[in-house]
Amino acid sequence: MNLYRVLVEYFGREFERRLRKRIGYLGKDDPFKVLIRTIISQMTNWKNTRIALKRLESKLELTPLSIIKAPIEVIEDCLRPAGLYRVKARKLKILAKRVLEDLGGDFSKLKNKTLEEIRSYLMTLPGVGFKTADILLLFHYKYPIMPVDTHISRITRRLGLVGRSAGYEDIRRAVESTLEERDSDKMGVLHLMLIEFGRNVCTARRPKCDICPFKEVCEYYRIRSRSTRTL
């Protein structure tokens, strides 16, 4: 199943071009700021994350040294809108200390490492799991790896690309295997298209199966249609 081709036909070439441009911007994101956002966003929504992040940026530079030097009470106060502010402030302190000690605050020092080495290191940092590590690997380090979020997990299970009990790595490999040419830009576009598709078509509740370009090969649609006919 060529997910990329079907989604480009569905969204259009202009949408694909816009996503390629967006990938360029994502690649310029400071990895340390990406990790800060990840920690702040845990157990809250994007609106609260954005408010807390802006409060933090208004008080100090988002660099490892600045986080280390800042009084923890100041960081906690900035993070209040995102909840769990004491836990998150401690995580930011630990993260900053590790990044400064290990890399001198410079993530470009990892660029000579292999995908597996970078991934393993990133996942030793507080608040970093598979998805966050893979986002940095894809957009910052330009490795053709597929970060898996809830939308991508839902889509692959419904299509029958993986079983119901499939874990993160199973889903990642299944999506990656649908790309004939595995380069980082194409993987990035596919990642963003799948998220857009999950938000607007293959939604968690009341998916819009009638306009879905995958419905002829979708396990979920087949079972759902059969259930409807028997009612």
User: Quick check: 147 and 191 in contact, CB under 8 A?
Assistant: yes
| Confidence (pLDDT) at 229 | 59
| Confidence (pLDDT) at 148 | 97
pLDDT (tens digit per residue) in 75-105: 999 999 999 999 999 999 999 999 999 999 9
| Confidence (pLDDT) at 93 | 98
pLDDT (tens digit per residue) in 11-49: 999 999 999 999 999 889 899 999 999 999 999 998 999
Residue 230 predicted with pLDDT over 70? no
Say how far apart CA 138 and CA 135 lie, in whole Å: 5
Number of domains in the chain: 1
182 pLDDT tier (thresholds 50, 70, 90)? confident
pLDDT (tens digit per residue) in 99-152: 999 999 999 999 999 999 999 999 999 989 999 999 999 999 999 999 999 999
Q: Please give the radius of gyration of the chain, using alpha carbons only, rounded to the nearest integer.
A: 20
Check which CATH number belongs to the domain holding 160 and give it.
1.10.340.30
- Average pLDDT in the chain: 95
Among 146, 133, 132, which residue's Cα sits nearest to residue 193? 146
| Confidence (pLDDT) at 226 | 76
Say how far apart CA 118 and CA 228 lie, in whole Å: 48
- State pTM to two decimals: 0.90
- Using alpha carbons, list the distances in angstroms from residue 109 to 99, 105, 118, 148: 11, 9, 10, 26
Structural domain of residue 123, as residue ranges? 1-231
13-27 helix and 3-11 helix, angle to the nearest 10 degrees: 110
**Total Cβ atoms within 10 A of residue 60:** 16
